[in-house]
């Protein structure tokens, strides 16, 4: 079955409402949530947690994080799915599209939730004072507001400096690569006791990338450690929730819940 034929099939049309929901959430995420003005929390110039340098070049920028989350899971899923189900292309298309829908929904949902929380919490980033550029004569050990800031890098950079908690990079990377890791664990059948250990390690590889992206935010002084920890919990929560919406537990199978039958695991 070709992709065009699968798109017209009842199995595909069954998920159209979910695709529409995921697209609408993504539009809200990128078009609205990303631009919410954060709460302007008071701060002290003497606070050592916000006195770090402002990195002009980030190890993983915001757009790069989104590109990684948007392309790596679908590509890996396509390779695994179309090799595993090479004799049943119709089933392969179904497994792949449902898998992409799940990770798409996880990333868009957690991205929106993270942006809203960032704006409500309004915690200054570790590099906030450089973004602020406080006026001369500002009290050093008293609480002040953003009114003392000269914003040497512009108001957009200043306001972004009040969006530290939770980390969007951490939440999105753990949503995308956490979903991929669970998905690979199911596809490789790691729940079976006889599976060789290398399949377990292969399923965990996406989490290495998630940890790298998250920890890079502390290396760039864009986030506090608690920010990336909270983001990781949000991402893992979104990943597992969306995975279980479309797939059974790892020990119960690897095909979508609405599949008519189960396929054999990948050969050793």
Q: Where are the domains of the chain?
A: 18-23+45-252
> How high is the pLDDT of residue 2?
67
pLDDT tens figures, 101-156: 999 999 999 999 999 999 999 999 999 999 999 999 999 999 999 999 999 999 99
pLDDT tens figures, 1-10: 567 777 878 8
> How high is the pLDDT of residue 139?
96
Mean pLDDT of 254-268: 62
d(CA 95, CA 81): 7
């Amino acid at each position: 079955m070709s992709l065009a034929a699968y798109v017209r099939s009842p199995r595909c049309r069954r998920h159209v409402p979910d695709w529409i929901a995921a697209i609408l959430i993504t539009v809200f995420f990128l078009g609205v949530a990303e631009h919410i003005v954060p709460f302007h929390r008071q701060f002290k110039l003497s606070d050592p947690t916000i006195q770090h340098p402002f990195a002009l070049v980030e190890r993983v920028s915001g757009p790069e994080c989104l590109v990684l989350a948007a392309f790596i899971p679908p590509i890996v899923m396509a390779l695994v799915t179309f090799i595993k189900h090479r004799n049943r292309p119709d089933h392969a298309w179904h497994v792949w599209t449902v898998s992409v829908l799940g990770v798409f929904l996880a990333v868009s949902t957690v991205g929106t939730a993270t942006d809203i929380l960032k704006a409500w919490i309004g915690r200054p980033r570790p590099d906030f004072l450089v973004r602020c550029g406080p006026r001369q004569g500002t009290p050093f050990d008293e609480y002040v507001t953003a009114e003392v800031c000269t914003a040497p890098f512009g108001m957009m950079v200043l306001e972004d400096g009040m969006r530290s908690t939770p980390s969007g990079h951490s939440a999105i990377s753990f949503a995308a690569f956490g979903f991929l890791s669970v998905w690979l664990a199911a596809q490789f059948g790691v729940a079976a006791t006889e599976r060789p250990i290398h399949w377990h390690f292969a399923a965990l590889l996406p989490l290495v990338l998630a940890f790298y992206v998250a920890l890079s935010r502390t290396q760039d002084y864009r986030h506090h450690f608690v920010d990336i920890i909270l983001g990781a919990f949000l991402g893992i929560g979104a990943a597992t929730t969306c995975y279980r919406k479309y797939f059974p537990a790892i020990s119960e199978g690897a095909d979508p819940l609405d599949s008519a039958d189960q396929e054999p695991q990948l050969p050793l």
